Amino acid sequence: MSKILIIEDDAAFCQMLQKFLTRNGYDVEVSFTAQDAKIKFAKSAFDLVLTDLRLPNYDGVQLLTDFKEINAKIQVIVMTGYAEVGSAVDAMKKGAYDYISKPFTPEEILMQIKSALNEEAVSKSNSKTDHTKKSGSVESSDSEDQVISGLSEASRKLNEYIKLVAPTNMSVLITGESGTGKEVTAKAIHDQSKRNKFNFVAVDCGAIPKEIATSEFFGHIKGSFTGAIEDKIGHFEAAHQGTLFLDEIGNLSYENQIQLLRALQERKIKRVGSTKEITVDVRIITATNEDLTEAVEQGTFREDLFHRINEFSIETPALVDRYEDLMQFADYFLQKANRSLEKDIQGFSEEVIAIFGKYHWPGNLRELQNVIKRAVLLTTGDFVEKETLPKEVHKTKEIDFSDEKFSKADYEKDQIVRALKQSNFNKSKAAKLLQITRKTLYNKINHYNLDL
């Protein structure tokens, strides 16, 4: 059983995270101050440290340095706020395994923890080249996720495309709105391919600072830069003979695009600090909620890379286009939430089913899943009732999905303006209300030419 130390001054959040990780099979200790954490770290052998960067009376990066001086191989994940990405990059240069921005879901932190502990296991085994799928390998955030067959025409078309392209080695570009299940679609392609006995490695390109992207993709050798205290394999090596899924690929810097293109063309990589070429055999699946053809025209995305990753394209449909499947998805997420929260909610009240049908679901499947998980947590009876739903879901004007005059764009613009006004035009807070990333919010504001 791996042992984890959580350092977080928000006691309620810290204890909630401890309970979740304990339920997932980890031995967890918590500290609310850096001083207490240093005492516990000196007394016990931990496999991983999860620490907030902003601690009372102590610098989080300095605490990382303190831990690394005691145990150079300890894996450390730092938790940051939106405005602390610069500090997170500094922490990674000084040896942190990764960082995660608040707010995050339990599944997201669980994925990073599994990845970090697996990374340590790989380095201890001298980076053996056996990349077959193992427990704890770097895979999708939730192995239970699956493509729902669905009754709608949009779902049928999506499943046909997956079945058609999966057995090939073609590079696939998945497009679609945020929250429509692009990673789930990518995982389904991998699972139905000849590579399914090897790793599916999912990478969020939007979460990788460009300063460390080369190391993340291709790995590094010990001593190649400050903080490189041991050899590290990159995502390409981890996905050898399997599938590498690059989410939000449009966020890669132009320099990183060049490096990625070279790796895809030559199928060879070099770790940072090494002159040795390593041959890699990976299938590339990418995803974006942006218009890459427009990015190519504007010169922010390389045209040659676009054609390399776009041998076959699939669009994941918005939930509004899969209305016939709504309750099928809802039932699936209900069972998933029951397992995660150890509850046994039987279903939804008639009132809740009616509310679901009237709501527009701008956050798509991700929003539906989050709403249901929250409702399951709050439900004390056998059925999910209206009172457990967020107010923006049940206090919304009725939408007639069958009305051909209904404009999704108009509704989305209205939602964006409402969220901005509600957050006093703080775009970070507005993005949270809309359950989209800040970058997606900026893109939508520009797309609709909103004068704000």
184-242: pLDDT as tens digits: 999 999 999 999 999 999 998 888 888 888 989 998 888 777 777 788 888 999 999 99
Residue 118 CB neighbours (<10 A): 19
Residue whose structure tokens are 């429509």: 180
- The one-letter amino acid code at 298 reads Q
The predicted-structure confidence for 72-84, as pLDDT tens digits, reads as follows 888 999 887 644 5
C-alpha span between 398 and 135 (Å, rounded): 46
pLDDT score recorded for residue 261: 95
With beta carbons less than 8 A apart as the criterion, state whether 287 and 179 touch.
no
The predicted-structure confidence for 371-404, as pLDDT tens digits, reads as follows 999 999 999 999 999 999 998 887 655 544 444 4
User: Which of 452, 372, 369, 390 lies closest to 418, judged by CA?
Assistant: 452
pLDDT at 124 over 50: no
Confidence band of 257 (pLDDT split at 50, 70, 90): very high
Mean pLDDT of 281-301: 92
Q: Name the region of 392 (left: φ>0; alpha: ψ -120 to 50; beta: rest).
A: alpha
Confidence band of 58 (pLDDT split at 50, 70, 90): confident
DSSP 8-state class, residue 123: H
C-alpha span between 155 and 150 (Å, rounded): 5
Mean pLDDT of 59-70: 87
C-alpha span between 314 and 170 (Å, rounded): 12
Confidence band of 428 (pLDDT split at 50, 70, 90): confident
pLDDT score recorded for residue 81: 67
Residue 125 CB neighbours (<10 A): 9
Torsion, CA 392, CA 393, CA 396, CA 401, rounded to 10: 140
pTM: 0.62
Rg of the chain over Cα atoms, rounded to whole angstroms, equals 22
The domains found in the chain, sorted by start residue, are 3-123 (3.40.50.2300), 130-315 (3.40.50.300), 321-394 (1.10.8.60), 408-447 (1.10.10)
Mean pLDDT of 421-446: 75
Q: Name the region of 127 (left: φ>0; alpha: ψ -120 to 50; beta: rest).
A: left
Mean pLDDT of 353-365: 88
C-alpha span between 430 and 419 (Å, rounded): 5
Range picked from 121-125, 389-393, 427-431 for highest mean pLDDT:
389-393
